[in-house]
Chain A
Amino acid sequence: MTKRLVVGLLLAGLVGGLAQGAVTIMVLWSGDELAAFQKVADAFQAQTGITVRVESVGRDLPTILATRVAAGNPPDLAGMPNPGQMAEFVARGALIPVDDLVDLTQFPTAFVDLATVNGKVYGIFISADLKSLVWYNPDALYAEGLAPADSWNELLYITETLAARGKVPWAVGLESGAASGWPGTDWIEDIMLRTAGPELYDQWVNHEIPWTHPAVKRAFELFGAIVRNKAYVYGGTTGALSINFGDSPAVLWDPTPGAYLHRQATFIKSFIAGAHPELDLDRDVAFFVFPPIDPKWGTPLLGAGDLISAFRDTPEVRAFLQYLAGPEAQAIWCGALGKLATNVNVDPSIYPDQLTAQAAEILKGAEIFRFDASDLMPAAVGSGAFWKGILDYVSGVPLDRVLQEIEAAAQAAY
């Protein structure tokens, strides 16, 4: 297959650095992320002499990758959109297992299990994001005489107190172009983990309980108690639905804060820095862990990660996979971007700022860790009906109808 690609390029008269000993990898990254990955690839090449050709196709990756795979023309490796999509490629017989190629003991078992389908491992996580965080502006929050919440009741107390003072407690942004709705799914997942526990969460992911189950319903209701309350959210429900997720936290640091709390994963840090270049991140920006709700389940953590899988088994692919899994590659990648390393041997000193180091520390100490449920579900649910359901629910559609519609999609998809 690589040969065919080479011939194709020859036809176009475009031979450039295509020697034996090369791997191709398709990714969706751009900008800083692409530059950081290129650094990893360059370091690998310097060590092994194997060329890494990085093909960035942007946000159309799911489409392009699915097409290439179906047409029998996949790259050597690719960044998977999510574990659910990886499982789909496994089901189509496209991916190779990596159990024997990579030393999997370097990873926490949670990350290995997440890439496991039918007892075989089909991908490696090169980094992770911690999702269960509530961001705040310390100056603004303390000026109101309030402090980070340790429990759901305290969180509600902060919310109600601010609202009673005529202030808006939460900044929520659910808009994300074609992927609108996903930030809401993270809320539901965090709440599910804290009200129903990890076992029921897993059953929910695997559709062993229906969407109309009382536990799912309760999670939506707790989410709705905050986000559907017009007085609790910046711009009300229309604001939550219309404002882009990346723009939404910016109002926390406005001269007169537009809101005080924002629930989002570690990566939001770069958006805050982009909107407010004047901030000193370690001093002006802080987060606390999304607090426990039902004491029985404590404080489970929700996360996601960057997953790489291989479509071909060549010596070069093996070498690159081993390198990506190792602490050196992750130190370059995570150090540049402030992502959290998955390899347990990575030295915490690589993190660019205290916030990231703190998040890495929290993730390491996790008693219960679960992956973003929507990323694990079949795409028709996890990247379709669930997203739409969030938007419908927040925009006022009755909850029972929302859950029934997601359930209908789930029944067709599982």
Chain B
Amino acid sequence: MNMGRAHWLYLAPALLLLGVFLVYPSVETIRLSFYGPRSDTFVGFQNYIQAFTSRPMLIAFRNNLLWLVVFTLFTVGMGLVLAVLLDRVRYEAIIKSVIFLPMAISYVAAGVIWRFVYAFRPVVAPQIGLLNAIVVALGGQPVGWLIERPWINNLALIAVGVWVWTGFCMVVLSAAYKGIPKEMQEAARIDGANEWQVFRHVTIPFLKSTLAVVTTTMIVFVLKVFDIVYMMTNGAYDTDVIANRMYNEMFQFNNYGLASAIAVVLFLAIIPFLVINIRRFRTQEAVR
């Protein structure tokens, strides 16, 4: 619809808040990224060079990439599977609450919970960590889940992320799934399609835009992932991620310049996903 300038009335409150709380600080961040640790000396691109070349940052890039693939795959995948499967059982509400539960837990509490999962005790002592108790019961040696690099500890951290965020994907996808007219699926079944074909040719196309939204959200979350890593390892044993480096440089090491440069790098990393999204919105508008 075309309605003169009225759209600005709808947008004004949002744009004002976004400008104040996100745009203005971002501009400030970009400026500071060219200055030294105390923001008093201009250093050109030096912070960016450090952000792209120092070993801790390279490890953080590698880990974020691992998170990007594994975390996104599992949260979106499991969220989708659960949204579809739970629609078929009568105890849907209970299971949904169970999967959603971790979303309601603050990260301080989540840290304690996972201590009781990953805790390590020598084989001679009673295990207080669930995973090692299982390993020992099966006759194995207890494992330092957060210490064994490079795979076990990173995957152990990603597992915490998946545990927390699958609930988000499930809730959003489930809301969309319930929007699919039952008649469409029924019609496909009457035409002789099996469940997989219904899923593939009716459900997925219908959920496409929601899947894109959820995936984008998870990707953005991966780029910003911080709490889990900070509280469990703070990046030790090569588990560091970009946002944790930024936080440490900013608030622990007082290096505002480098921290700002890392934040700008994060922002640049999202651009490809933005472009994909905008294309998708154009298509959506063309077909409706």
Q: Binary interface profile of A, 174-191, with partner B (CB < 8 Å = 1, else 0)?
A: 000111110000000000
CA–CA, A239 and B142, complex, Å: 10
Query: B210 at interface (Cβ–Cβ under 8 A)?
Result: no
Q: Binary interface profile of B, 48-76, with partner A (CB < 8 Å = 1, else 0)?
A: 00100011000000000000000000000
Q: Binary interface profile of A, 374-414, with partner B (CB < 8 Å = 1, else 0)?
A: 00001110011001100110010000000001001000110
State which residues 65-89 of A face B: CB under 8 Å.
66-67, 70, 88
**Contacting pair A91 B38 (CB below 8 A):** yes
A-B contact count (CB 8 A): 79
Residues of B within 8 A of A388 (CB): 235-236
**Contacting pair B251 A395 (CB below 8 A):** no
State which residues 230-244 of A face B: CB under 8 Å.
234-236, 238-239, 241-243
CA–CA, A238 and B237, complex, Å: 12
CA–CA, A66 and B119, complex, Å: 33
Which of under 10, 10 to 19, 20 to 34, or 35 or more describes the interface residues of B? 20 to 34
Q: Binary interface profile of B, 130-158, with partner A (CB < 8 Å = 1, else 0)?
A: 00000000000011101101000000000
**Contacting pair A179 B234 (CB below 8 A):** yes
**Contacting pair B234 A241 (CB below 8 A):** no
A64: nearest chain-B partner, CB-CB: B251
Query: A92 at interface (Cβ–Cβ under 8 A)?
Result: yes
B132: nearest chain-A partner, CB-CB: A242
**Contacting pair B122 A235 (CB below 8 A):** yes
CA–CA, A258 and B120, complex, Å: 15
Question: Shortest distance in angstroms between B115's beta carbon and chain A's nearest beta carbon?
Answer: 8
Query: Which of A67, A70, A238, A378 has the most CB atoms of chain B within a 10 A radius of its CB?
Result: A238
CA–CA, A278 and B255, complex, Å: 47
Residues of A within 8 A of B236 (CB): 180-181, 387-388, 391-392
Query: A62 at interface (Cβ–Cβ under 8 A)?
Result: yes
Question: Shortest distance in angstroms between A309's beta carbon and chain B's nearest beta carbon?
Answer: 15
Which of B122, B233, B249 sits near A236, CB closer than 8 Å? B122
**Contacting pair B147 A238 (CB below 8 A):** yes
Question: Shortest distance in angstroms between B129's beta carbon and chain A's nearest beta carbon?
Answer: 9
How many interface residues does A have (CB within 8 Å)? 37
**Contacting pair B146 A242 (CB below 8 A):** yes
**Contacting pair B120 A413 (CB below 8 A):** no
**Contacting pair A384 B237 (CB below 8 A):** no
Query: A118 at interface (Cβ–Cβ under 8 A)?
Result: no
* Chain B interface, >50% SS class: loop
Query: B77 at interface (Cβ–Cβ under 8 A)?
Result: no
Query: B125 at interface (Cβ–Cβ under 8 A)?
Result: yes
Question: Shortest distance in angstroms between A146's beta carbon and chain B's nearest beta carbon?
Answer: 21
Query: B253 at interface (Cβ–Cβ under 8 A)?
Result: yes
Query: A63 at interface (Cβ–Cβ under 8 A)?
Result: yes
**Contacting pair B233 A63 (CB below 8 A):** no
Residues of A within 8 A of B149 (CB): 395
A177-B234, A238-B144, A395-B147 known; A62+B122 contact, CB < 8 A: no
Residues of A within 8 A of B54 (CB): 408
Question: Shortest distance in angstroms between A282's beta carbon and chain B's nearest beta carbon?
Answer: 28
Question: Shortest distance in angstroms between B182's beta carbon and chain A's nearest beta carbon?
Answer: 50
A383: nearest chain-B partner, CB-CB: B252
Question: Shortest distance in angstroms between A251's beta carbon and chain B's nearest beta carbon?
Answer: 8
CA–CA, A235 and B121, complex, Å: 6
**Contacting pair A180 B147 (CB below 8 A):** no
Residues of B within 8 A of A391 (CB): 236-237
CA–CA, A234 and B121, complex, Å: 9
**Contacting pair A177 B254 (CB below 8 A):** no
Query: B23 at interface (Cβ–Cβ under 8 A)?
Result: no
Residues of B within 8 A of A67 (CB): 251
For this complex, 26 residue pairs linking A to B, each with C-beta atoms less than 8 Å apart, are A62-B251, A66-B250, A66-B251, A66-B254, A70-B256, A91-B38, A177-B111, A177-B232, A178-B231, A235-B122, A239-B122, A242-B146, A251-B125, A258-B122, A258-B124, A379-B253, A379-B254, A380-B252, A380-B253, A384-B248, A388-B235, A391-B237, A395-B147, A395-B237, A405-B55, A413-B253
Extra inter-chain contacts (10) besides given A62-B251, A239-B120, A395-B147, CB under 8 Å: A177-B231, A181-B236, A238-B142, A242-B146, A380-B253, A384-B252, A388-B235, A392-B236, A392-B237, A405-B55
